[in-house]
Amino acid sequence: MSADDTRGAARTVRAGRHSVRIHRQDKVLFPGGSDGGGDGDGAKEYTKGDLVDYYRSVAPFMLPHLRGRPLMLERHPDGLDGPRFMQKNTPDTYPEWIHRVEVPKEGGTVCHTVCDDTATLVYLADQAALTLHRWLSRVGRIERPDRMVFDLDPSGDDFGAVREAARLLGELLDELKLPSALMTTGSRGLHVIVPVDGHHDFDEVRSFARDVADTLVAGHPDTLTTAARKKERGDRLYLDVQRNAYAQTAVVPFTVRAKPGAPVATPITWAQLDDADLDARRWTVADAVEQARTNPWAGVPARGRALGPARRRLNALRP
């Protein structure tokens, strides 16, 4: 066992050109015990050292989804049992080699952290940034998203409803000739992600996503809804498109969620939707890297599509 793998109060991790000091690595961030899933299985305990090791291992697969994107960090300095805070501005105490980007907001600007390398990812883990939320646009084209996201949010824990909604949405996107990728959220539902070409602004992308969702709801009004207010949804699954707006974020592929057992938001293939063992928390820090190595999004084009042709196809389908 190398010195880098030993457990203790602190250690130094070498990542590329930088060394990152990990403090209190044996501090428990994810306590063991009930996982709240109702199946009687206890959630495994994970420490900060475990979180660092996971992010270091998954970095080659995660960084392509992080590079050049402003982040919002979900931090739990004392673990799940302590307070949570959402961090947008990058503290002055962060090392100079960590990239930042200043973006406009109403009445000023925000200096977001950008994670472009493994060292930054490890440093954020040391800061107990459990979950990383990314913008759907990149530095240099901050007003033009290159991702469109549909969040399939069930009213309860019925993952069967999530599967069915994903299938229906996937079929509609296929009909519109838009490639799509599927990801567990590590929470309750799934994300369906569509790469777009970055030539449309946020308002155009969100408007298109809303029209896609409304078209799907029109055909399945008893099971699907776009109602933003929970009291108006009933037992229907919520097709959430609100993340497709300026300064809104979505969880990063392979990020850990702040839930018992350290579940991971994990890319999957469309074929895996039929896996009987699949649910939103199927993968954790213990096995998500194995799923990453299968390259589940291999068939998704690297370059996004323009929405113009898809918009014409969608209009032809709508009454």
Which residues is 110 bridged to in the sheet? 103
* Average pLDDT, integer, range 167-178: 98
How would residue 1 be classed by pLDDT, with cut points 50, 70 and 90? Answer: very low
* 268-317 tens-digit pLDDT: 999 999 999 999 999 999 999 999 999 999 999 988 999 999 999 999 99
Q: What percent of the chain has pLDDT over 90?
A: 88
How would residue 185 be classed by pLDDT, with cut points 50, 70 and 90? Answer: very high
The pLDDT assigned to 319 comes to 75
* Average pLDDT, integer, range 245-249: 97
What are the DSSP E strand ranges found in 142-213?
147-153, 181-184, 190-195
The pLDDT assigned to 292 comes to 98
Mean of all residue pLDDT scores within the chain: 93
The pLDDT assigned to 45 comes to 97
Closest CA to 244 of 194, 310, 185: 194
- Within 8 A by CB and 6+ apart from 63, the residues are 115, 116, 117, 118, 121
Say yes or no to pLDDT of 36 above 70.
Answer: no
Closest CA to 200 of 64, 101, 308, 66: 308
Q: How many residues does the structure list for the chain?
A: 319
The pLDDT assigned to 37 comes to 44
- The pTM of the full predicted model, rounded to 2 decimals, is 0.93
How would residue 39 be classed by pLDDT, with cut points 50, 70 and 90? Answer: very low
Say yes or no to pLDDT of 2 above 50.
Answer: no
- Within 8 A by CB and 6+ apart from 16, the residues are 117, 118, 119
The pLDDT assigned to 43 comes to 87
Closest CA to 134 of 84, 191, 180, 175: 191
How would residue 42 be classed by pLDDT, with cut points 50, 70 and 90? Answer: confident
Bridge-based pairing state of the strands 33-34 and 18-23: unpaired
How would residue 33 be classed by pLDDT, with cut points 50, 70 and 90? Answer: confident
* 75-134 tens-digit pLDDT: 999 999 999 999 999 999 999 999 999 999 989 999 999 999 999 999 999 999 999 999
Q: What structural domains does the chain harbor?
A: 8-142 (3.90.920.10)
The pLDDT assigned to 4 comes to 44
How would residue 136 be classed by pLDDT, with cut points 50, 70 and 90? Answer: very high
